Amino acid sequence: MARAFLVVMDSVGIGGAPDAAAYFNGGIPDTGANTVGNIAQHCARGLASIGREGPLKVPNLDRLGLGRAVHLASGALAPGLGREPAGVWGAATETSTGKDTPSGHWELAGLPVPWAWHHFTQTTDSFPPEVIQRVCDLAQTDGILGNCHAPGTEIVAKFGQEHMRTGKPICYTSADSVFQIAAHEDSFGLQRLLDLCADLAPFLHRMKVGRVIARPFTGSAGIGFQRTGNRRDFAIAPPGPVLTNWVQDAGRRIYAVGKIGDIFSMQGIDKVFKGSDRELMLHLQSLLATAEEGSLTFANFVEFDSLYGHRRDVSGYASALEWFDVCLGRLLARLLPSDMLIITADHGNDPTWHGTDHTRERVPVLIAGKGVGQLGHIGFRDVAALVAQHLDVPVPEMLYTQADPKQ
Protein backbone atom coordinates (compact mmCIF):
# COMPACT_ATOMS: atom_id res chain seq x y z
CA MET A 1 0.00 0.00 0.00
CA ALA A 2 1.25 3.49 -0.88
CA ARG A 3 2.66 6.02 1.61
CA ALA A 4 2.70 9.82 1.28
CA PHE A 5 5.15 12.41 2.63
CA LEU A 6 3.97 16.03 2.44
CA VAL A 7 6.80 18.44 3.32
CA VAL A 8 6.27 22.19 3.73
CA MET A 9 9.35 24.37 3.36
CA ASP A 10 7.93 27.21 5.43
CA SER A 11 7.92 30.51 3.45
CA VAL A 12 9.77 29.20 0.36
CA GLY A 13 7.63 31.09 -2.16
CA ILE A 14 8.28 31.54 -5.87
CA GLY A 15 6.67 34.91 -6.60
CA GLY A 16 3.86 35.67 -8.96
CA ALA A 17 0.77 35.73 -6.74
CA PRO A 18 -1.89 37.42 -8.90
CA ASP A 19 -3.21 39.45 -5.95
CA ALA A 20 0.19 40.44 -4.49
CA ALA A 21 -0.60 44.15 -4.99
CA ALA A 22 -3.22 43.89 -2.23
CA TYR A 23 -0.66 42.76 0.37
CA PHE A 24 1.96 45.06 1.87
CA ASN A 25 5.34 45.02 3.58
CA GLY A 26 6.68 48.22 5.06
CA GLY A 27 4.02 50.09 3.11
CA ILE A 28 5.21 48.54 -0.19
CA PRO A 29 3.00 46.06 -2.09
CA ASP A 30 4.31 42.51 -2.45
CA THR A 31 4.43 42.69 -6.25
CA GLY A 32 7.96 41.69 -7.19
CA ALA A 33 8.56 39.58 -4.07
CA ASN A 34 9.98 36.20 -5.09
CA THR A 35 11.68 34.30 -2.29
CA VAL A 36 13.53 31.67 -4.34
CA GLY A 37 14.05 33.81 -7.44
CA ASN A 38 15.42 36.84 -5.62
CA ILE A 39 17.67 34.76 -3.36
CA ALA A 40 19.09 33.07 -6.46
CA GLN A 41 19.69 36.48 -8.06
CA HIS A 42 21.51 37.74 -4.96
CA CYS A 43 23.65 34.60 -4.79
CA ALA A 44 24.60 34.93 -8.47
CA ARG A 45 25.64 38.56 -7.93
CA GLY A 46 27.78 37.74 -4.89
CA LEU A 47 25.36 39.42 -2.47
CA ALA A 48 24.80 36.36 -0.28
CA SER A 49 28.31 35.41 0.74
CA ILE A 50 28.21 35.32 4.53
CA GLY A 51 28.99 31.72 5.48
CA ARG A 52 28.60 30.56 1.88
CA GLU A 53 29.56 31.70 -1.60
CA GLY A 54 28.66 31.46 -5.27
CA PRO A 55 25.38 30.67 -7.04
CA LEU A 56 22.51 29.04 -5.18
CA LYS A 57 23.22 25.29 -5.16
CA VAL A 58 20.02 23.24 -4.89
CA PRO A 59 20.43 20.51 -7.51
CA ASN A 60 17.96 18.04 -5.97
CA LEU A 61 15.15 20.60 -5.71
CA ASP A 62 15.95 21.78 -9.21
CA ARG A 63 15.85 18.23 -10.60
CA LEU A 64 12.34 17.96 -9.19
CA GLY A 65 11.43 21.13 -11.09
CA LEU A 66 12.08 24.12 -8.78
CA GLY A 67 13.60 26.34 -11.46
CA ARG A 68 10.77 25.58 -13.86
CA ALA A 69 8.23 26.27 -11.13
CA VAL A 70 9.76 29.69 -10.40
CA HIS A 71 9.49 30.61 -14.08
CA LEU A 72 5.94 29.28 -14.34
CA ALA A 73 4.82 31.21 -11.26
CA SER A 74 6.51 34.53 -11.89
CA GLY A 75 8.07 34.61 -15.34
CA ALA A 76 11.46 35.05 -13.66
CA LEU A 77 14.54 32.97 -14.40
CA ALA A 78 16.39 31.94 -11.24
CA PRO A 79 20.14 31.89 -11.95
CA GLY A 80 21.60 28.40 -11.59
CA LEU A 81 18.17 26.73 -11.69
CA GLY A 82 16.42 25.31 -14.72
CA ARG A 83 17.49 21.68 -15.12
CA GLU A 84 15.27 19.35 -17.09
CA PRO A 85 12.90 18.07 -14.39
CA ALA A 86 12.96 14.43 -13.31
CA GLY A 87 9.78 14.80 -11.25
CA VAL A 88 6.31 16.27 -11.46
CA TRP A 89 6.26 20.02 -10.91
CA GLY A 90 3.94 22.99 -10.81
CA ALA A 91 2.99 26.18 -8.98
CA ALA A 92 0.14 26.55 -6.48
CA THR A 93 -1.91 29.68 -5.81
CA GLU A 94 -3.73 30.42 -2.55
CA THR A 95 -7.33 31.64 -2.43
CA SER A 96 -7.54 32.38 1.32
CA THR A 97 -7.14 36.06 2.18
CA GLY A 98 -3.93 35.78 4.12
CA LYS A 99 -0.21 35.12 3.88
CA ASP A 100 0.23 33.29 7.14
CA THR A 101 0.86 29.81 8.52
CA PRO A 102 -2.72 28.66 9.28
CA SER A 103 -4.15 30.00 6.01
CA GLY A 104 -1.49 28.29 3.92
CA HIS A 105 -1.49 24.98 5.76
CA TRP A 106 -5.27 24.68 6.07
CA GLU A 107 -5.69 25.30 2.36
CA LEU A 108 -2.89 22.87 1.48
CA ALA A 109 -4.87 20.37 3.57
CA GLY A 110 -8.04 21.07 1.57
CA LEU A 111 -9.80 23.79 3.58
CA PRO A 112 -9.49 27.46 2.61
CA VAL A 113 -10.06 29.82 5.54
CA PRO A 114 -13.77 30.76 5.51
CA TRP A 115 -13.39 34.03 7.43
CA ALA A 116 -11.19 37.11 7.66
CA TRP A 117 -8.55 36.85 10.39
CA HIS A 118 -8.39 39.53 13.06
CA HIS A 119 -5.14 41.51 12.93
CA PHE A 120 -3.71 43.94 15.47
CA THR A 121 -2.86 46.63 12.95
CA GLN A 122 -1.42 49.37 15.17
CA THR A 123 2.35 49.00 15.37
CA THR A 124 2.45 50.52 18.88
CA ASP A 125 -0.20 50.23 21.59
CA SER A 126 -1.34 47.28 19.50
CA PHE A 127 -3.76 45.56 21.86
CA PRO A 128 -7.17 46.79 23.07
CA PRO A 129 -7.65 47.23 26.83
CA GLU A 130 -9.85 44.14 27.16
CA VAL A 131 -7.12 41.92 25.73
CA ILE A 132 -4.46 43.40 28.01
CA GLN A 133 -6.74 43.00 31.02
CA ARG A 134 -7.42 39.36 30.18
CA VAL A 135 -3.67 38.66 30.01
CA CYS A 136 -3.09 40.42 33.33
CA ASP A 137 -5.94 38.54 35.02
CA LEU A 138 -4.63 35.19 33.81
CA ALA A 139 -0.99 35.96 34.57
CA GLN A 140 -1.84 37.71 37.85
CA THR A 141 0.29 40.72 36.96
CA ASP A 142 -0.45 44.45 37.00
CA GLY A 143 0.60 45.00 33.39
CA ILE A 144 2.36 43.70 30.32
CA LEU A 145 5.50 44.68 28.42
CA GLY A 146 5.81 45.27 24.70
CA ASN A 147 2.29 45.85 23.36
CA CYS A 148 3.62 46.38 19.83
CA HIS A 149 4.70 44.86 16.52
CA ALA A 150 8.22 43.48 16.86
CA PRO A 151 10.60 40.67 15.85
CA GLY A 152 10.86 38.16 18.67
CA THR A 153 14.59 38.35 19.23
CA GLU A 154 14.58 42.15 19.35
CA ILE A 155 11.73 42.47 21.80
CA VAL A 156 13.25 39.90 24.16
CA ALA A 157 16.57 41.78 24.08
CA LYS A 158 14.74 45.03 24.81
CA PHE A 159 12.42 43.88 27.59
CA GLY A 160 14.05 40.70 28.92
CA GLN A 161 15.69 42.28 31.95
CA GLU A 162 12.57 44.27 32.91
CA HIS A 163 10.48 41.13 32.49
CA MET A 164 12.72 39.21 34.89
CA ARG A 165 12.56 42.08 37.39
CA THR A 166 8.79 42.69 37.26
CA GLY A 167 7.37 39.34 36.17
CA LYS A 168 5.25 41.05 33.49
CA PRO A 169 4.84 38.97 30.31
CA ILE A 170 6.22 40.37 27.05
CA CYS A 171 3.34 40.58 24.56
CA TYR A 172 3.80 41.41 20.89
CA THR A 173 2.43 40.73 17.43
CA SER A 174 3.20 41.11 13.72
CA ALA A 175 1.36 41.55 10.44
CA ASP A 176 0.04 38.00 10.92
CA SER A 177 -3.02 37.18 13.00
CA VAL A 178 -1.02 36.28 16.10
CA PHE A 179 -0.65 37.17 19.77
CA GLN A 180 2.78 36.18 21.07
CA ILE A 181 3.91 36.00 24.69
CA ALA A 182 7.59 35.75 25.58
CA ALA A 183 8.64 34.79 29.09
CA HIS A 184 11.73 33.47 30.84
CA GLU A 185 11.66 29.73 31.42
CA ASP A 186 13.16 30.03 34.91
CA SER A 187 12.02 33.32 36.44
CA PHE A 188 8.49 33.20 34.96
CA GLY A 189 8.28 29.44 34.46
CA LEU A 190 7.83 27.44 31.29
CA GLN A 191 4.68 25.64 32.42
CA ARG A 192 3.21 28.93 33.67
CA LEU A 193 3.79 30.45 30.23
CA LEU A 194 2.21 27.48 28.44
CA ASP A 195 -0.79 27.56 30.79
CA LEU A 196 -1.17 31.31 30.26
CA CYS A 197 -1.25 30.91 26.47
CA ALA A 198 -3.60 27.93 26.62
CA ASP A 199 -6.03 29.80 28.87
CA LEU A 200 -5.86 32.99 26.77
CA ALA A 201 -6.29 31.23 23.42
CA PRO A 202 -10.09 30.61 23.51
CA PHE A 203 -10.72 34.31 24.22
CA LEU A 204 -8.59 35.42 21.26
CA HIS A 205 -9.87 32.66 18.99
CA ARG A 206 -13.38 34.05 19.43
CA MET A 207 -11.98 37.29 17.98
CA LYS A 208 -10.62 35.21 15.05
CA VAL A 209 -7.00 35.73 16.08
CA GLY A 210 -5.35 32.74 14.45
CA ARG A 211 -2.69 31.79 16.97
CA VAL A 212 -1.48 32.46 20.49
CA ILE A 213 2.21 31.61 20.55
CA ALA A 214 4.31 30.86 23.64
CA ARG A 215 7.87 32.11 23.11
CA PRO A 216 10.01 30.92 26.03
CA PHE A 217 13.59 32.13 26.45
CA THR A 218 16.53 31.74 28.82
CA GLY A 219 19.67 33.74 29.67
CA SER A 220 20.24 37.11 31.26
CA ALA A 221 21.05 40.69 30.35
CA GLY A 222 24.71 40.00 31.07
CA ILE A 223 25.16 36.99 28.79
CA GLY A 224 22.27 37.68 26.43
CA PHE A 225 18.86 36.07 25.99
CA GLN A 226 18.17 33.06 23.80
CA ARG A 227 14.82 31.69 22.66
CA THR A 228 14.46 27.96 23.34
CA GLY A 229 12.95 25.11 21.37
CA ASN A 230 9.93 24.93 23.69
CA ARG A 231 7.77 27.21 21.54
CA ARG A 232 4.13 26.19 21.43
CA ASP A 233 1.40 27.43 19.08
CA PHE A 234 -2.21 27.44 20.27
CA ALA A 235 -4.10 27.73 16.99
CA ILE A 236 -7.77 27.99 16.11
CA ALA A 237 -9.06 24.56 15.16
CA PRO A 238 -10.00 24.18 11.48
CA PRO A 239 -13.78 24.56 11.17
CA GLY A 240 -14.13 21.41 9.09
CA PRO A 241 -12.39 18.16 8.16
CA VAL A 242 -8.97 18.46 6.52
CA LEU A 243 -6.57 16.05 4.83
CA THR A 244 -5.38 14.59 8.13
CA ASN A 245 -8.99 13.78 9.07
CA TRP A 246 -9.72 12.21 5.68
CA VAL A 247 -6.71 9.93 5.96
CA GLN A 248 -7.24 9.06 9.61
CA ASP A 249 -10.93 8.36 9.03
CA ALA A 250 -9.83 5.85 6.39
CA GLY A 251 -7.98 3.96 9.12
CA ARG A 252 -4.49 5.21 8.30
CA ARG A 253 -1.75 6.63 10.56
CA ILE A 254 -0.80 10.33 10.50
CA TYR A 255 2.64 11.52 11.60
CA ALA A 256 3.17 15.25 12.26
CA VAL A 257 6.74 16.55 12.03
CA GLY A 258 7.38 20.05 13.39
CA LYS A 259 4.52 22.42 14.17
CA ILE A 260 1.90 20.56 12.10
CA GLY A 261 0.15 19.25 15.23
CA ASP A 262 -0.17 22.78 16.61
CA ILE A 263 -1.38 24.25 13.30
CA PHE A 264 -4.22 21.73 13.08
CA SER A 265 -4.96 21.63 16.84
CA MET A 266 -4.10 17.92 16.71
CA GLN A 267 -7.06 17.15 14.42
CA GLY A 268 -6.37 13.87 12.67
CA ILE A 269 -2.86 13.51 14.15
CA ASP A 270 -1.60 10.24 15.65
CA LYS A 271 1.99 11.10 16.63
CA VAL A 272 4.03 14.31 16.80
CA PHE A 273 7.77 14.85 16.38
CA LYS A 274 9.26 18.19 17.51
CA GLY A 275 12.68 19.83 17.51
CA SER A 276 14.96 22.06 15.48
CA ASP A 277 14.89 21.70 11.70
CA ARG A 278 17.95 19.48 11.88
CA GLU A 279 16.30 17.26 14.45
CA LEU A 280 13.10 17.22 12.39
CA MET A 281 15.04 16.10 9.33
CA LEU A 282 16.36 13.11 11.29
CA HIS A 283 12.79 12.27 12.32
CA LEU A 284 11.65 12.50 8.71
CA GLN A 285 14.48 10.27 7.54
CA SER A 286 13.56 7.75 10.22
CA LEU A 287 9.89 7.81 9.19
CA LEU A 288 10.88 6.96 5.63
CA ALA A 289 12.23 3.72 7.08
CA THR A 290 9.49 3.00 9.64
CA ALA A 291 6.15 4.57 8.63
CA GLU A 292 3.45 1.99 7.91
CA GLU A 293 1.92 1.30 4.53
CA GLY A 294 -0.91 3.73 3.80
CA SER A 295 0.34 6.35 6.22
CA LEU A 296 0.72 10.12 5.76
CA THR A 297 3.69 12.02 7.14
CA PHE A 298 3.05 15.78 7.18
CA ALA A 299 6.12 17.90 7.96
CA ASN A 300 6.93 21.59 8.37
CA PHE A 301 10.44 23.04 8.38
CA VAL A 302 10.01 26.47 9.94
CA GLU A 303 13.51 27.91 10.17
CA PHE A 304 13.60 29.27 6.61
CA ASP A 305 10.89 31.62 7.87
CA SER A 306 11.67 32.16 11.53
CA LEU A 307 15.47 32.44 11.41
CA TYR A 308 16.13 33.95 7.99
CA GLY A 309 13.04 35.34 6.26
CA HIS A 310 11.80 37.64 9.00
CA ARG A 311 15.36 38.72 9.77
CA ARG A 312 16.01 39.49 6.09
CA ASP A 313 19.10 37.30 6.17
CA VAL A 314 19.69 36.40 2.51
CA SER A 315 22.88 34.43 3.11
CA GLY A 316 21.32 32.48 5.96
CA TYR A 317 18.24 31.68 3.89
CA ALA A 318 20.39 30.53 0.95
CA SER A 319 22.47 28.33 3.27
CA ALA A 320 19.29 26.80 4.72
CA LEU A 321 18.01 26.00 1.22
CA GLU A 322 21.33 24.35 0.35
CA TRP A 323 21.30 22.33 3.59
CA PHE A 324 17.75 21.16 2.88
CA ASP A 325 18.73 20.20 -0.66
CA VAL A 326 21.55 17.95 0.57
CA CYS A 327 19.12 16.29 2.98
CA LEU A 328 16.55 15.93 0.20
CA GLY A 329 19.03 13.79 -1.71
CA ARG A 330 19.07 11.37 1.22
CA LEU A 331 15.26 11.38 1.41
CA LEU A 332 14.92 10.59 -2.28
CA ALA A 333 17.31 7.66 -1.94
CA ARG A 334 15.09 6.15 0.77
CA LEU A 335 11.75 6.39 -1.03
CA LEU A 336 10.04 3.09 -1.73
CA PRO A 337 8.71 2.49 -5.26
CA SER A 338 5.13 3.11 -4.11
CA ASP A 339 5.91 6.26 -2.06
CA MET A 340 5.07 9.83 -3.02
CA LEU A 341 7.02 12.83 -1.67
CA ILE A 342 5.60 16.34 -2.19
CA ILE A 343 7.71 19.42 -1.46
CA THR A 344 5.75 22.66 -1.21
CA ALA A 345 5.41 25.85 0.87
CA ASP A 346 2.70 27.83 2.69
CA HIS A 347 3.53 31.44 1.67
CA GLY A 348 6.61 33.54 0.91
CA ASN A 349 9.04 35.48 3.08
CA ASP A 350 11.43 37.09 0.62
CA PRO A 351 14.54 38.19 2.59
CA THR A 352 15.42 40.67 -0.17
CA TRP A 353 12.04 42.43 0.11
CA HIS A 354 10.82 45.41 2.13
CA GLY A 355 9.73 45.13 5.76
CA THR A 356 10.03 41.99 7.87
CA ASP A 357 6.76 40.20 7.17
CA HIS A 358 5.59 37.33 4.97
CA THR A 359 5.18 37.97 1.26
CA ARG A 360 2.15 36.98 -0.84
CA GLU A 361 3.50 34.49 -3.38
CA ARG A 362 2.70 31.33 -5.26
CA VAL A 363 4.50 28.23 -3.99
CA PRO A 364 6.26 25.31 -5.68
CA VAL A 365 4.72 21.85 -5.87
CA LEU A 366 7.48 19.31 -6.52
CA ILE A 367 6.64 15.61 -6.55
CA ALA A 368 8.92 12.58 -6.45
CA GLY A 369 7.55 9.09 -6.98
CA LYS A 370 4.91 9.90 -9.61
CA GLY A 371 7.02 9.96 -12.75
CA VAL A 372 7.83 13.07 -14.78
CA GLY A 373 5.39 15.75 -15.85
CA GLN A 374 3.99 19.24 -15.44
CA LEU A 375 1.06 20.12 -13.19
CA GLY A 376 0.89 23.69 -14.43
CA HIS A 377 -0.99 26.18 -12.25
CA ILE A 378 -2.99 24.52 -9.48
CA GLY A 379 -4.62 25.64 -6.25
CA PHE A 380 -3.32 24.99 -2.75
CA ARG A 381 -6.33 22.71 -2.26
CA ASP A 382 -5.21 20.53 -5.12
CA VAL A 383 -2.22 19.44 -3.04
CA ALA A 384 -4.59 17.74 -0.59
CA ALA A 385 -6.34 16.03 -3.49
CA LEU A 386 -3.03 14.75 -4.89
CA VAL A 387 -2.14 13.20 -1.53
CA ALA A 388 -5.58 11.69 -0.99
CA GLN A 389 -5.69 10.19 -4.47
CA HIS A 390 -2.24 8.65 -4.02
CA LEU A 391 -3.37 7.06 -0.74
CA ASP A 392 -6.69 5.98 -2.29
CA VAL A 393 -8.61 8.02 0.28
CA PRO A 394 -11.96 9.62 -0.70
CA VAL A 395 -11.73 13.32 -1.56
CA PRO A 396 -14.67 15.48 -0.41
CA GLU A 397 -16.66 16.83 -3.33
CA MET A 398 -16.44 20.40 -1.97
CA LEU A 399 -12.73 20.36 -2.74
CA TYR A 400 -13.45 20.96 -6.41
CA THR A 401 -15.35 24.24 -5.99
CA GLN A 402 -12.28 26.49 -5.87
CA ALA A 403 -11.67 29.39 -8.26
CA ASP A 404 -9.29 29.03 -11.19
CA PRO A 405 -5.81 29.59 -9.69
CA LYS A 406 -4.56 31.20 -12.92
CA GLN A 407 -6.95 34.13 -12.58
In degrees, to the nearest 5, what angle opens at C-alpha 53 toward C-alphas 355 and 84? 90
The string over 265-295, giving b where at least 16 C-beta atoms fall within 10 Å of a residue's C-beta and e elsewhere, is bebbbbebbbeebeebbebbeebbeebeebb
Nearest to 367 by CA among 89, 3, 21, 16: 89
Go through the chain and tell me how many residues it has: 407
**Is residue 305 marked as binding?**
yes
What is the C-alpha to C-alpha distance for residues 239 and 35, in angstroms, rounded to an integer? 30
**Is residue 249 marked as binding?**
no
**Is residue 205 marked as binding?**
no
What is the C-alpha to C-alpha distance for residues 206 and 397, in angstroms, rounded to an integer? 29
**Burial class of residue 402 in the structure, from the number of CB atoms within 10 Å of its CB (0-12 exposed, 13-18 middle, 19+ buried):** middle
**Is residue 358 marked as binding?**
yes
> How close are the terminal C-alpha atoms of the chain, in Å?
37
Are the CB atoms for 328 and 368 separated by under 8 Å? no
Rg (CA), the chain: 21
β 178-184/170-173 pair status: antiparallel
Residue set of the binding site: 10, 305, 310, 346-347, 358
- Residues placed in the known binding site for Mn(2+): 10, 305, 310, 346-347, 358
